[in-house]
Amino acid sequence: MADADDERFRAEIERLHKRLEWISEEEARSALVGDVAAQGQFQPERDRIIKSTDEVLDEWAASINVRSARE
């Protein structure tokens, strides 16, 4: 069960990371041509993803603590 849980957490963190990476790349490209993405268009989504990442990491840490307590 632990391996499946860990894999689920890893997959979610990877998904969130890829989205943040895409946003960063889009903002960098936009800065070169003065597009709206360079003007903070993605900041609310970036903030949401960072918050979600923190929540996933907290949940993962709690899961690990519960497993450790059982051992």
Task: Please give the model's pTM, rounded to 2 decimal places.
Answer: 0.82
Q: Would you say residue 32 has pLDDT above 80? A: no
Q: What is the mean pLDDT of residues 37-44?
A: 83
Range of the structural domain that residue 17 is part of:
2-70
Cβ–Cβ under 8 Å, residues 49 and 16: yes
The pLDDT tens digits of the residues spanning 5-29 come to 899 999 999 999 999 999 999 888 8
Report the candidate in 70, 24, 15, 63 with the shortest Cα–Cα distance to residue 46. Answer: 24
Mean pLDDT over the full length of the chain:
89
For residue 31, give every residue at least 6 positions away whose Cβ sits within 8 Å of its Cβ, in sequence order, or none. 38
Domain count of the chain?
1
